[in-house]
Amino acid sequence: TAIDKAGHRHFMAKEIAEQPRVLEDVLSHYIKDGRIVLPEALDFREVDRITLVGCGTASLAGQVARYWFEQIAGLPCETDIASEFRYREPPLSDKSWAIFVSQSGETADTLAALHYAAPRVARTIGVVNVGTSAIAREADVALPTLAGIEVCVASSKAFTCQLAVLAILALKAAHDRGRLDDAALGRHLDDLRAMPALMSQALALSDDCAALAGWLSEASDVIYLGRGALFPVALEGALKLKELSYIHAEGYASGELKHGPIALIDRNVPIVVLAPRDALFDKTVSNMQEVMARHGQVLLISDAEGIASAGSGTHASLAMPSEGGVFQAMLYAVPMQYLAYHTAVAKGTDVDQPRNLAKSVTVE
Ligand code: G6P
């Protein structure tokens, strides 16, 4: 069937809005009757390390998942971008697994990284959206992300579906390795199963993001801050803004701010602060206050309670759902997408086909 914009102005808007449905698809593919359903080969008991590799947005999905593999499964985990990984000749354990994340499954650097790892690790896994792609064929195990065709060059629904598959892998690892009993696993799976509905709530922030687009589109630099799994989401927010609106943006770990980037802050620099009310909330809020003391204009993204407790003095705030447990990072992708999308629309850039970018990069 022909792919159209289904009434949306751009493919990107359509693809962002599809996330509740495609997440439902991918979650119900891998979770059946409250149990994780994965190929038999994926038993994590003997694995000593996970390596996650990808390019662009897919590499950031790997970076988010690292926090889950380490914190939930207690499994050492490293991440890299494919173009570095393949040439730095990393020593790899023959008991380790390497996971290659790619929407297209054809990205040349990611495929070359798979070729490097294959003879050196116990198993290669492709987390891919295109089931017939090279990475899907060549990995020992291919796990489809089931996001459907993504037309917009900048990735949105493919990213959150990658996160869903990686979250399920981290939970499987934690359960196999005795870090989660059945009851605890069940609670995490409930959090994941709630994600499509929570994602629908997050989509309702589109108008609020549109209202901030005029402000962001005037900026020449924007900084995104987050801690923990929200740090790579901050990187993704900055990447999205750069790709779509051509505004210079940087993501930083909130705690790193004082070691350099704080020098950039003045009243002309919008700072987007990702602060779910997790164990790191107070730390992130204190980093935010350091920014505000230097007249930075803060957009605080938290839940209603977080905004009520920390929001005074901010330029604006976006109220996110408070549910989602350890997987909240998935939800925070939505305001990242909408802020970039609406800012690009406000600037009049080519949202679906940004200059100089290709959907799939099959050269080095
Ligand atoms: C290109 C696209 C990005 C994408 C990256 C990785 O640079 O413009 O949006 O994240 O490739 O693509 P992949 O298909 O491997 O996920």
Q: Which residue has the tokens 């987007």?
A: 272
Q: Ligand 1, from 16, 57, 138: best to mutate by most atoms within 8 Å of Cβ?
A: 57
Single-letter residue type at 86: R
Beta-bridge partners for 221: 248
345: CB partners within 8 A, 6+ apart: 9, 10, 210, 213, 351
Catalytic residue among 5, 242, 283, 359: 359
Angle between helices 157-176 and 182-193 (to 10 degrees): 170
Which residue owns the Cα nearest ligand 1 atom 15? Answer: 102
Alpha-helical runs (H) found in the chain: 11-17, 19-30, 56-71, 82-88, 108-117, 134-138, 157-176, 182-193, 195-203, 206-217, 230-245, 281-293, 304-310, 328-347
Give distance in angstroms: CA of 360 to centre of ligand 1.
Answer: 6
pLDDT of residue 90: 95
Give distance in angstroms: CA of 241 to centre of ligand 1.
Answer: 15
pLDDT of residue 24: 98
Residue closest to 130 by CA, chosen among 161, 106, 99: 106
Q: What is the dihedral of CA 322, 327, 331, 335, to 10 degrees?
A: 100
Give distance in angstroms: CA of 361 to centre of ligand 1.
Answer: 7
Give distance in angstroms: CA of 15 to centre of ligand 1.
Answer: 15
Task: Decide if 112 contacts 73 (C-beta within 8 A).
Answer: no
Beta-bridge partners for 52: 79, 99
Task: Decide if 85 contacts 101 (C-beta within 8 A).
Answer: no
The one-character DSSP state at 51 is E
Which residue owns the Cα nearest ligand 1 atom 11? Answer: 360
pTM over 0.90: yes
Single-letter residue type at 338: Y
Query: SS3 of 144, please?
Result: strand
Q: How many residues does the chain have?
A: 364
Residues within 6 Å of ligand 1 by CB = 54-58, 102-104, 107, 110, 153-155, 357, 359-361
Q: Ligand 1, from 52, 55, 99, 138: best to mutate by most atoms within 8 Å of Cβ?
A: 55
pLDDT of residue 271: 96
Q: Which residue has the tokens 């870090």?
A: 179
Phi-psi category of 295—alpha, beta or left, where left has phi over 0 and alpha has psi -120 to 50? left
Query: SS3 of 343, please?
Result: helix
Instruction: State how far the Cα of 95 lies from the Cα of 114, in Å rounded to an integer.
Output: 16
Query: Of ligand 1's atoms, which has the minimum distance to the CA of residue 158?
Result: 16
Query: Of ligand 1's atoms, which has the minimum distance to the CA of residue 107?
Result: 15
Query: Of ligand 1's atoms, which has the minimum distance to the CA of residue 56?
Result: 10
Give distance in angstroms: CA of 152 to centre of ligand 1.
Answer: 11
Give distance in angstroms: CA of 101 to centre of ligand 1.
Answer: 10
* 32 annotated active-site: no
Q: Which residue has the tokens 């989602």?
A: 324
Q: Which residue has the tokens 């923990």?
A: 228
**How confident is the prediction for the chain on average, in pLDDT?**
95
- Collect the ranges in the chain with pLDDT lower than 50: none
Query: Of ligand 1's atoms, which has the minimum distance to the CA of residue 57?
Result: 10
pLDDT of residue 2: 63
